[in-house]
Amino acid sequence: MDQKKALQIVKPHLTEHRYTHTVGVMNTAIELAERFQADKKKAELAAIFHDYAKFRDKQEMCALVESSIEDKTILGYGDELLHAPCGAYYVEHEVGIKDEEVLNAIRYHTTGRPNMTLLEKVIFLADYIEPGRQFKGVDEVRKLSETNLDEAVIQALDNTVSFLMKRRQLVYPETIATYNELVVKQKKEK
């Protein structure tokens, strides 16, 4: 699917602000894919559809998780996480994208997962650092992403977990597991 068609499909599902974010994620994902030798077309496609379900009805997504999503534990960690696994399901079943790498990049773009693929890291990071994002710590992650993908993902995870913990919000266990796995890998490489 070409970029123009994909953007036409996704645009009606997003607010204008979220569409601008999506274009930023797409451009950032393409740049990261080039930098770290990931598949640029898959990065572009996953980035375009990463927030496809962002504004779906929460009850509808909860029902979808109950009926069709393997990991039901996500239901206990807030509505904000639902759009990623549900989005992957909708993109597959409504849009017809069957590429498991693209679907997994959409599925894990908010939580991460241990043993993330290169494409999954690219989409996770592109969503975090796209130019429209302005929050404490984002510039540090942008700088790290210029040279070291794993280091940038670790810092993004660190920032996210710290943010949630300071607000006494639950942290999805796979996010902690992702952080731990990457830190262990990093220590072994040194």
Q: Tell me, what DSSP letter sits at residue 79?
A: G
For the domain that residue 48 is a member of, what is the CATH number?
1.10.3210.10
Tens-place pLDDT, residues 80-96: 999 999 999 999 999 99
* Residue 157 lies inside a defined structural domain of this protein: no
Radius of gyration of the chain (CA): 16
* Residue 178 lies inside a defined structural domain of this protein: no
* Residue 25 lies inside a defined structural domain of this protein: yes
Name the one residue in this structure whose structure tokens are 């710290």: 162
Name the residue among 85, 105, 114, 115 with its Cα closest to residue 38: 105
Range of the domain at 96: 3-133
* Residue 186 lies inside a defined structural domain of this protein: no
Q: Tell me, what DSSP letter sits at residue 93?
A: I
Binning pLDDT at 50, 70 and 90, where does residue 78 land? confident
* Residue 147 lies inside a defined structural domain of this protein: no
Distance CA 153, CA 97 (A): 26
* Residue 12 lies inside a defined structural domain of this protein: yes
pLDDT at 37: 98
pLDDT at 190: 74
Q: What count of residues does the chain have? A: 190
Total tally of structural domains belonging to the chain: 1
Q: Give the distance between the most distant pair of CA atoms in the chain.
A: 47
pLDDT at 107 over 90: yes
* Residue 151 lies inside a defined structural domain of this protein: no
pLDDT at 189: 85
* Residue 43 lies inside a defined structural domain of this protein: yes
pLDDT at 106: 98
pLDDT at 150 over 80: yes
What's the whole-model pTM score?
Answer: 0.96
